[in-house]
Amino acid sequence: MAKKKVATKLEREHMSKVASLGCLVCQRPANVHHIRPVGLGIGMRSGHYQTIPLCYDHHQGQFSIHNCKEQFEAMYGTEEELLHRTLKEIKNIEQVNNFFNLKGENND
């Protein structure tokens, strides 16, 4: 079995941002779920930038993306759709943070 790649500092920072969003389904505290694009083998996962935030119940619980993927995606969207939503939310937060950082610099 292939050894899992250790996350770089930038990848860890990105995954921290993802987790900080809270679960995409219920907004509870979340961990990251590495999406599995179609064609990726069992036991394989995508890169650290292809992650979405899910709480334990929606990640690995009884009705979760790991245990009931088809039903989960029918209710909440595909992994790719959820990844797009995650990246969009992070981008929006970064834009707001940049706006306030720049505004603060202009007021000095």
pLDDT tens string, the chain, 108 residues long: the values are 344 678 899 999 999 999 999 999 999 999 999 998 766 556 666 789 999 999 999 999 999 999 999 999 999 999 999 999 999 999 999 998 888 877 655 544
Give me the residues paired with residue 52 across strands.
Answer: 33
Give me the residues paired with residue 51 across strands.
Answer: 34
Q: With a threshold of 0.85, does the pTM exceed it? A: no
Beta-carbon contacts of 20 under 8 Å, excluding residues fewer than 6 positions away, are 53
Q: What are phi and psi of 95, to 5 degrees?
A: -65, -40
**Burial letters 57-86, b for 16+ CB under 10 A, else e:** ebbeeeebbeeeeeebeeebbebeebbeeb
